[in-house]
Structure 1
């Protein structure tokens, strides 16, 4: 695939080493097509790792994609150097007048806070409303999904007795959904969250696509707001859960071992990635649906629900 990202973005070398095609601006300009405009609002502390995970999935399509990295207008980041953010990211105010074919909103490690107490919640509300006028289709992930479900539909979330942490087998509820084409009936999906959503608060506009009876809804579709909500993490690499476990262990938090991650529970063995194909399928299907339905002219996005 041709994905266009900044030449010196660290994710570029990672993608090239994995055999994915990364395009420079000169080559992109020679192709007589309109590249899809995809934005990534990255709310995670480790920006570099998260952007690489999503760029890897967006890059696995034969379509030309321009990926724009976006961050909230925040006074600073404790985990990412300001120079890095200024070099590779646009602040929300810098893209609010643009239109995007697709937009991804990541999770954020703020599960314990009520939404209204999140310091950038007013800006998040602006961004979520903006997706209805400036974005053709939005993919909300983890906390981003919970926030959007709360904002658009008043969906309630609840604190689980124990953190859902590991790789869990899920059930495909609607195999005919265009977002789930090619998926197996019971995919293994990484999960790391303290909260579930209250099924009783789901309205008729929301369709459950992937489910797990023990740890809750995994993914929903929303035709009214042209959105998909993925509460778990098909974008994760094989070390994501392992590194989270060892980080919490080092912090003295006594975390439970991630379910179904280490072979026979042996933490000395490198975890296998058993969800990679489903992550690629989900994002290829999402981008294909965007390509099939988005207006040719970017200026027409958001008009009459386009």
Structure 2
């Protein structure tokens, strides 16, 4: 019996380790899956030196060069965006973004950040990193400035949000009231390439980073129960306020993931799906959790509970079995005297 609980505990540990590593292992290396060029921004860019691109529209302070698309310069009160013109009808996809955030501002003297979007509406400027607030779809924010002075987070901070038009990103709380999960990411003024990957497949949303120059993906967000429709647009926006940074996008590559779906899924009109997430807790609960990492981080509360419960049961069973075995040995030894 003790062996059974010990094996169960070890099995849970293995599952936990695999859950952390599995997301990284699932990400495509960029070669095995099919890149969708109609949704991808790849050098050499077409339209350099003009105000138009065949597959992309940009507005605001966005500037197209031969090496990067600069959403904002390192100047105050700038907003810029770039949006794919063609809606994406892939059920399962992965977006790889090569980006760079840099500027002359020192610690806590830079901002505000940029965002990646899979959204219903495009080219609608607003207060959320250069996009309108009540959007429909998915947003991944790279926030470089802490607006909430009481926060315990370390910035820059990456977070994910799914919206059906009813939620509003609150800058004063750095989006904690509506985010799903997130992680700290040291991405400013890096002397090596920095990447971010967003994967959506079978209702699972995964956000990974490769920002340390090691060519390794690391887990940032991993959430199941996400429902996103087809027919939305990919885009990137950025904004500066009293503080500023250069926000550069070097490439955005969208890959089609070859995933089989059930017959029921195939019969769904995916263009009519409402963006949503099945959560154990409401995003509003994040306001009471300064770190925002109670859910879908590397170690969530229920995982801790299960591991501690398994460990406690294993210890109790081992102690009982050990006591019984010890007592029987003592009785057996007495019979030999």
Normalising by structure 1, we get a TM-score of 0.29
* Larger RCO (CA within 8 A; separation ≥ 6): 2
Counting strand residues as a fraction of each chain, which structure ranks higher? 2
Counting helix residues as a fraction of each chain, which structure ranks higher? 1
